Structure 1
Amino acid sequence: MIAAAHFLALLSPGPDFFLIARNSLSSGWRVASGACLGIAAANGVFIVAALAGLAALSRESTWFVILQLIGCAYLLYLGVLFIRHAGTSGLGSVLTQDSHVARSSLWFGAWRRAASMGFLSGILNPKNALFYASLATMLTGPYASTGWKAFYGIWMFSVVLLWDLLVAAMIGNQAILQRFARVLPWLERVSGAMLILLAVGVIIFMMH
């Protein structure tokens, strides 16, 4: 459920999505791949920090219980937010971008700038830190071992990078983008429902 909730949350466009979209539409997917790598690197920093930070907390400690409750509350908040504002992400603004702007830019320089912008976009977004800390608190019992944390860390980093690269490659296709815009409200509702179910499930588990 943690892996599924993380992936579904990626489907809902945020600042990172629009950064990738604009880079892909203006400079092509190869330049946009720099933004993808920068965003994934920023996510990786938060993933490592969240998982490593919890290693010092005992499952029975008061601080761990408080952290779990805060994490559940944040996931519930995100879930309600996704459902409440489904279909209002403003994806239509991306559809009108000029796909031929800045194609004459020096490729490596443009790629490096995109990577820097992607990393800053990800690392300066406080929601990323809260989201990964919330997911990390869900790992309890045998799933809180070093091996499982490494597995989830690698999984989440890889999914962020691969999904963003897929978005960058497909975003220039107007037909695909228009279809995505049509199903986006339902994707956001499903994402919200998954986050709420995950939070409720952990709360029920804690009560036992």
Structure 2
Amino acid sequence: MNELPILITLASVHFVALMSPGPDVALVVQNAARYGRQTGLYIALGLSAGILLHSILSLTGMSYLVHQHPNLFSTLQLVGGSYLTYLGYCALKGCWQAKNGTGSEPNQENNVLLNNKRQAFSRGLSTNILNPKALVFFISLMSSLVPADMSLIGKGIALIMLWGLSLVWFSLLAWVLSTQRMQSKVQAMAFYIDGLCGVIFSIVGTSILWQSIGGLLLNV
């Protein structure tokens, strides 16, 4: 079986999804713009690690099993939605404090947290792996594009490719936003960037929470 067309299609669909606005892109934009290149690159590493984990779980069928158990999937939605909503709350709270002059620095709490490499990596990993929409996306991607009889080498290449594309895209985004030329422009718009990212996190998080509560109620 010629697996090259499958891999090309898989890469193309995944890359388009990577560029779509969502929590992952918002996290890189918000933090690389505000806290610099190192934080942005470690967040990119965490996000790509989460995507690699999602890909492995989908290829091995573990994600499908989770999705087939309504209570377990609704619980995952509840946890993931709560986490994303919390990120949105923190971003919007920082904007509110900046606007009203309360607090010594907007998002100072997050600044201390994300200046730590390990914490920046963890933030990226958590944001991706706890997003139930990512789980559903990878189940759909793998089940529709990866045939069951695909070779182990082909599956291995697919995993490396999905991880590599994710790391390159998010790292490039972090790099561009943290250049000296961009930093001066971005810092002037930091309030609006934080606000927009806060809205994205909040909308995605609350929509996931709404779905999880509905799912749990249906299964009572």
Q: TM-score, normalised by structure 2?
A: 0.53
Q: State the AA in 2 paired with 1:47.
A: S
**Matching of residue 140 in structure 1 with residue 155 in structure 2:** no
Decide whether the 8 Å contact of 1:36 with 1:161 is kept in 2: yes
Q: State the AA in 2 paired with 1:8.
A: V
Query: Structure 1 residues 17 and 159, CA, compared in 2 at 3 Å: closer, same or farther?
Result: same
Q: State the AA in 1 paired with 2:40.
A: A
**Matching of residue 9 in structure 1 with residue 14 in structure 2:** no
Deviations 1:15-56 (A, max 9, x none): 0111111111111011111111111111111111111228xx
Which position in structure 1 is the counterpart of 2:133?
127
Query: Structure 1 residues 107 and 26, CA, compared in 2 at 3 Å: closer, same or farther?
Result: same
Number of equivalenced pairs:
136
Decide whether the 8 Å contact of 2:113 with 2:119 is kept in 1: no
Which position in structure 1 is the counterpart of 2:124?
118
Q: Distance in 1 between matches of 2:139 and 2:113?
A: 36
Decide whether the 8 Å contact of 2:37 with 2:175 is kept in 1: yes
Q: Distance in 1 between matches of 2:38 and 2:157?
A: 28
Q: Which runs of 5+ in 2 are unaligned?
A: 1-8, 69-91, 99-105, 190-220
Decide whether the 8 Å contact of 2:35 with 2:115 is kept in 1: no
Shift of 1:110: 2.4
Which position in structure 1 is the counterpart of 2:170?
164
Which position in structure 2 is the counterpart of 1:46?
54
Q: Which runs of 5+ in 1 are unaligned?
A: 58-66, 68-92, 179-208
Q: Distance in 1 between matches of 2:26 and 2:114?
A: 21
Which position in structure 2 is the counterpart of 1:61?
none
Shift of 1:9: 1.0
Q: State the AA in 1 paired with 2:34.
A: S
Which position in structure 2 is the counterpart of 1:37?
45
Q: State the AA in 1 paired with 2:13.
A: A
Decide whether the 8 Å contact of 2:39 with 2:117 is kept in 1: yes
Shift of 1:107: 9.9
**Matching of residue 19 in structure 1 with residue 27 in structure 2:** yes
> Percent identity, aligned pairs only?
28
Shift of 1:108: 8.5
Q: Distance in 2 between matches of 1:124 and 1:156?
A: 18
Deviations 1:150-171 (A, max 9, x none): 1111100011011000000112
Where 1:19 maps in the other structure, the secondary structure is helix
